[in-house]
Structure 1
Amino acid sequence: MGKKIEFKGSISESIDEVQLTIPKDVDVGWKFWKKRRNVVGLLVFLGFFMSNSLRVNLSIAVVVMTTSTGNVKPEFDWNSDLRGVILGSFFYGYTATQFLGGYLSSKIGGKKVLGVGIGATALLTLTTPLLTRTSVYLLIFLRIVMGLFEGVTFPSTNSIWANWAPPTERSKLSTLPFSGSTAGAVIAMPLSSIIAARLGWPAIFYINGLMGLIWFAAWMYFISDTPRDDPWISVSELEYLEKTLCKIENNKKNISHPWKEMLTSVPVWAIFVAHFCGMWGYHTMVMQLPLFIENVLHFEIEKTGFVSALPYLGLTIVMVLSGHIADYLLSNNYLSTTMVRKTLTCASFIGQTIFMTLTGFMSTSVAVILCIIISFSIDGLSTPGYVVNYLDIAPQRASILLGMGKTIATLPGIISPTVTGYIVKNKTAEEWRIVFMIVSIIYLFGAIIYGTFASSKKQKWADESYDRTKINDNIL
């Protein structure tokens, strides 16, 4: 027998205050792989682990490539402005395909989009050493093309979770791409430092590229877009997922979207603003932290990699824990979904405002590193906050919304390294203080906007039947 669950808070807001009769979920104990949605989650985690490794490896490599060691001159004489352009070039392509990723996922499914996005990036990564030594302009072009492929990846996940994530597991599963991404940085940064010091910087790209191709093969073989298409899923799990997700079979080719309503929705723009502000701080740290540690703290390359990874380790831990906490609060009806999303996002942004400001004024290396670790770790609270909010307000259109949101949110990846390059001319602590203060102000602005205007209530235009109703009304 199934058990009757009355969804309150998030679920009631997302499913229009109705009661659902849901079959009991299968208990697999410690054998997590017996639930296919856990296998999907694991490979999504590993996919974004590889995705971010492929992206951030240049942040470590560029330090080795442009820094003299002893009497050995650097291989490349790139000034701070050019380094900013090189590091930011990835995001020109990354920004351009965010919306495309969401759109393609809604048409052909997230599996193909995510797989090709990461697989192609891995293949291109293998060519990085050759093209870099040929011309810096070829390196910039390559990074733009890599960004084009990786740009479709994050928006594709909402299409995947719309089919695989039950409402009471939504926060936990939806955080996996982000925790995988940060875990990738945790491993990639120190590992890249060791590889560069022992094998030379080109080996960073060869090893990462090969690992990405191995993941691509596993993803395409083991994963299906929907539970019904999965040859390994159990009957009980299939029934559970289709009931909890209120699955309605639709012809994806005929799906249209209420663009005016989506683009004029206040809750949508609250998420967009939060996403932009959150990513400004994140991209600033991802691309500039190794340079800051080398410029101001004067650490050796191997130590730079390990220290740069510590904030990502804290972020990964907090991100995973906060996803479970959010689902616990929702499943036990302690808080509404809106309160959970606002509380986690605002706590994250305000906490980062405080610790980023302190970073600029600390006088010792230990204090500076501690503030950065705490600030970056707190960022993990926002993932089950504003990031999951796309699924709350419009589950069936979440991939499109995330594509639009990520387009806006990747602009800091272009702007931030350029701004930092112009500010940090002499590599002084005072110049870096300005960079941290800009990050703090943007975080505070995001907390104010999201805390005031965000909502998790499912929007009237969110259902795919909305367009059909409008068409019928116009005909009548």
Structure 2
Amino acid sequence: MDDQSPPRKGCCSLRCGLALLLHFCNVSMMSQRACLSLTMVAMVNATDAQGLPNASTQEPPGDLRNPVYNWSPKIQGLILSSITYGMLVAQVPVGYLSGIYPIKNMVGSGLLLSSLLSLLLPLAAGAGASLVLACRVAQGLSQGTVLVAQHTVWTRWAPPAERGRLTSMSLSGLMLGPSVALFATGHICQALGWPVVFYIFGACGCALSLSWFVLFYDDPKDHPCISLGEKELITASLPEQVGSGGKSVPIKAVLTSLPVWAISLSCFAYSWTNHIMFLYLPTFISYRLRVDVRENGLLSALPHLCSWLLSILAGHAADGLLARKRLSLIAIRKLFTTLGLLLPALLVMGLLYLGSGFRGTLSLLTLTSATLGFCTAGMMINPLDIAPRYYGFLKGLTILIGMTGGLTSSTLAGIILNQDPVSSWFKIFFLMAAINVTSLVFYLIFAKAEIQDWATEKQHTRL
């Protein structure tokens, strides 16, 4: 490559190519995570989801291509939520270590381990629910490593004017992954059997992790394929790009910072809503629309697909507003966070109070999930604005708090569905809307977008 070439822009730049690679790594990771919510229907048979014994007359439990297990709704809920426990444990340690150890190794190894566990999951299911739980917890640890560590990539690779689009491009894979999984899983389950779902997504993840090891470098200065112009553009625009490696994190200042808590609580609300839509969307569609597993997969995939598109557009729109100086940076972050938390709350209330027709239900479900994508240009990238030196640690902390919301919401939803099937969805969605609005108000009051005093070079507070 000619080192004298001018800096590349748009889709021709190496940094955009790496964002696209990370995008597909996220797609693969989330596909491995999301497919279980639909394969569970096939693994326990349709009647078991309602708490009844498996209908062995419809499909023999010993069928080698599509085995069926007699797992109660309680066991199913534990299996579905178990991956979150592993992710919870990983967040803060990985956030701290991402400022010290190579991101290349952390992301690549995490994706590879998650993919290998996906390949082993059908075998684990045959051995019992306990081994499935263990596999999913281990997958949570590996996926939590990828989820947190990847954010540190953009402290070295993203010029400030492109943070929105590069971050949204890579993170949008988290929205596309469930769409791909749900779209493909129904067809694969019917045509080849549910175990093949895990084999396909696991193999794809292994291939992508190997590609990551080959193509990604932690520092633009070390990449053999980057032009001199692009290298200078990146390094010149990031004077503060030094990481926290070798430097203590100001824990007390972080934990007493209202902007950090504003981001954390909005992450809590986002994760609460996302987990409800992520884990229970197929269940709600089956309850409200009465469709088979293949149609359920198609309908469940549509909201995530729209969220993927909207998150990419949000990143470009945020950078466009910033470049044209239409709004200040904090105004942009608050605008997109408002759209990402308030609109789902309003739409889910419409789902409860408006008609229950097929088109109306599907439209509101799609928009509820899709509008969450606005958050990628709001509170999700906000930690990079206030503390680029400790970005990895802050992402670990805020995602940890967010994950507690997701774990609480998924567990609580399972309890409500099991105890009160008549009014359960009203309770689940109303609580979701209330948490979104409350967290948003706190964010609008206390969020900031300038580097905080405790995140500057002069800070020497120790752990």
Give the alignment's TM-score, normalised by structure 1.
0.89
Mapped partners of 2:457, 2:318: distance in 1: 27
Q: Is the 8 A contact 1:98 1:403 kept in 2?
A: yes
Mapped partners of 1:299, 1:438: distance in 2: 27
The 3 A distance-change label for structure 1 pair 58 and 249 is closer
Mapped partners of 2:453, 2:231: distance in 1: 28
What amino acid maps onto 2:7 in structure 1? V
The 3 A distance-change label for structure 1 pair 247 and 239 is farther
Are 1:285 and 2:277 an aligned pair? yes
Q: Is the 8 A contact 1:63 1:291 kept in 2?
A: no
Q: 1:197 aligns with which of 175, 190, 196?
A: 190
Are 1:390 and 2:383 an aligned pair? yes
Number of residue pairs matched?
A: 442
Q: Is the 8 A contact 1:175 1:383 kept in 2?
A: yes
What amino acid maps onto 1:456 in structure 2? A
CA shift, 1:125, in A, is: 0.6
Task: Give 1:298's aligned residue.
Answer: 290
5+ unaligned residues in a row in structure 2: which ranges?
47-54, 62-67
CA shift, 1:433, in A, is: 2.0
Q: Is the 8 A contact 1:350 1:447 kept in 2?
A: yes
CA shift, 1:464, in A, is: 3.7
Are 1:125 and 2:81 an aligned pair? no
* Partner SS state of residue 314, structure 1: helix
Task: Give 2:72's aligned residue.
Answer: 79
Are 1:26 and 2:13 an aligned pair? no
Q: 2:159 aligns with which of 131, 155, 166?
A: 166
Mapped partners of 2:228, 2:395: distance in 1: 31
Q: Is the 8 A contact 2:333 2:378 kept in 1?
A: yes
The 3 A distance-change label for structure 1 pair 185 and 103 is same
Mapped partners of 1:125, 1:27: distance in 2: 38
Mapped partners of 1:249, 1:448: distance in 2: 33
Task: Give 2:329's aligned residue.
Answer: 337
Are 1:47 and 2:25 an aligned pair? yes
Are 1:368 and 2:361 an aligned pair? yes
How big is the alpha-carbon RMSD for the aligned residues of Structure 1 and Structure 2? 1.9
Q: Is the 8 A contact 1:284 1:417 kept in 2?
A: yes
Q: Which moved more, 1:152-161 or 1:64-73?
A: 64-73
Q: 2:142 aligns with which of 141, 149, 164?
A: 149
Structure 1, residues 168-199: CA drift from partner, whole Å, max 9, x if none?
Answer: 00011111232111111111111011111100
Q: Is the 8 A contact 1:312 1:377 kept in 2?
A: yes
5+ unaligned residues in a row in structure 1: which ranges?
1-23, 472-476
Q: 1:242 aligns with which of 210, 229, 235?
A: 235
Are 1:452 and 2:430 an aligned pair? no
Mapped partners of 1:321, 1:400: distance in 2: 27
CA shift, 1:347, in A, is: 2.2
Mapped partners of 2:237, 2:171: distance in 1: 24
Structure 1, residues 381-426: CA drift from partner, whole Å, max 9, x if none?
Answer: 1110000101000112111000011111111332222211111127
Are 1:257 and 2:256 an aligned pair? no
Structure 1, residues 352-397: CA drift from partner, whole Å, max 9, x if none?
Answer: 1111112223322321221111111111111100001010001121
Q: Is the 8 A contact 1:99 1:152 kept in 2?
A: no
Give the alignment's TM-score, normalised by structure 2.
0.92
CA shift, 1:66, in A, is: 1.8
Give identity over the alignment, percent. 30
* Partner SS state of residue 249, structure 2: coil
1:375-454 to structure 2, matched below 5 A, reads: 375-425=368-418, 428=421, 430-454=423-447
Mapped partners of 1:224, 1:392: distance in 2: 23
Are 1:179 and 2:172 an aligned pair? yes
